[in-house]
A and B are shown apart, each in its own frame.
Chain A
Amino acid sequence: MKLAVAGKGGSGKTSISGTMCRMLARDGYKVLAIDGDSNPNLALTLGVPAERMNDLPVLTRDLLERGDDGPKLAKSLEEICRTHSLQAPDGVNLLVMAHPQHAGTG
């Protein structure tokens, strides 16, 4: 089962997806939560303490390498999850896309 949650800002995307992730994990599913928002807040809803929000593991540039048909992942998804994901409560795994740190980057 692969779901994406979309909608207007403030409409509750993060609250719905984060809560759903943990409930499904409690039901025995292996859950990978992916925060693709350039303003990533999913960790908070999953129950990661606010103090940890400043040093979330993010997906770094070196995970991509140049392949014959454009960029490809340098490692397997399993490996990336092992090294770059965050363990959230109920066993949910969280991957966070990078967020813009300085003006003119991203």
Chain B
Amino acid sequence: MHLAVVGKGGAGKSVVAGTLARLLARRGHRVLALDSDMMPGLALSLGIEQPDEPPLLGAVEKPEGGRWRLRKGIGPVRAVQRYSLPAPDGVRLLTAGKTDAEGMAPIMGAVRGFYSVIHRIDEPQAFKEWTLIGDLPAGPRQVAFDWAPYAHRYLVVVEPTWKSVITARRVIRLARSRRDATVMVIVNRVSAESDRARVEKMLGEPALLTIPDDPAVREADRLGRAPLDHAPDSPAVRAIEKLADMLDREAGSE
């Protein structure tokens, strides 16, 4: 099962991706979480610290006058083995790297390495059995530029606001233009009974699931902790648990 989580900024993509990754791992999946956002997010939602430097910097080289590339002998399998980070529940996290005060330059190699890994991740037999969960940065840009070539399913996280819905529309249109990719709409931060129907009407798409607006998740965010550790019994985590069960059943019946 290869998923990508997309949506507007602040819609809750990382919370959904990180929590879902751990819940699927608890259900026996081998999970690789893929973080291509150059801003912090997924590591915190998984419950680990973001490394100062992207580990993938060790996997790349820059030949004289050439472009960054994976070092000889390093393919997707080895890159994940050596350069992914362990997260709770057995999840592995591969991260492109985060910009800092110096901007992109110090992590450019890691970003290029990450891009090659995800583009070759379907080559080896190995990852066919894995559950891949990509957390993409806000908006349609990375979907357009093919930053989730592995994804057979896009989880579109949308809030009951017009800005969020319009963003979701753009993302869905792009995702649908990809071969054999399907789209699942998840309505997040639902505070009224009518929110789901409203979003479905605004979006023109059925929603698979709603996640309630949950102060416990906001608090976890403020503290920089994983919602699953901070508030495992909160309504939002319970809703993501339902999603994990749904996806797990589906994977089992494949």
Contact = CB atoms under 8 A, between A and B. Distances in A.
Contacts of A101: 173
B138 A102 contact: no
Interface in A26-44: 37-39, 41, 44
Among A10, A53, A101: residue with most chain B CB under 10 A:
A10
Given A11-B10, A38-B141, A39-B8, A103 B167 contact: no
* Chain B contact residues, majority secondary structure: loop
A38 B11 contact: no
B27 interface: no
A39 B141 contact: yes
* Chain A contact residues, majority secondary structure: loop
Interface in A2-40: 8-11, 14, 37-39
A30 to B, nearest CB: 26
Nearest to B143: A103
A8 B10 contact: yes
A64 to B, nearest CB: 20
Given A10-B8, A10-B10, A41-B163, A103 B141 contact: no
B174 A39 contact: no
B179 to A, nearest CB: 10
Contact of A39 (B145, B167, B178): B167
A41 B168 CA distance: 12
Given A9-B39, A99-B170, A103-B174, A38 B9 contact: no
A103 B166 contact: no
Interface in B127-171: 137-141, 143-146, 162-163, 166-167, 170
B139 A38 contact: yes
Contacts of A41: 8, 163, 166-167
A8 B39 contact: yes
Contacts of A9: 8-11, 39, 137-139
Interface of B: 8-11, 39, 137-141, 143-146, 162-163, 166-167, 170, 173-174, 177-178, 202
16 contacts: A8-B10, A9-B138, A10-B9, A11-B9, A38-B139, A38-B144, A41-B8, A41-B166, A44-B162, A50-B166, A50-B202, A100-B140, A100-B174, A102-B144, A103-B174, A104-B144
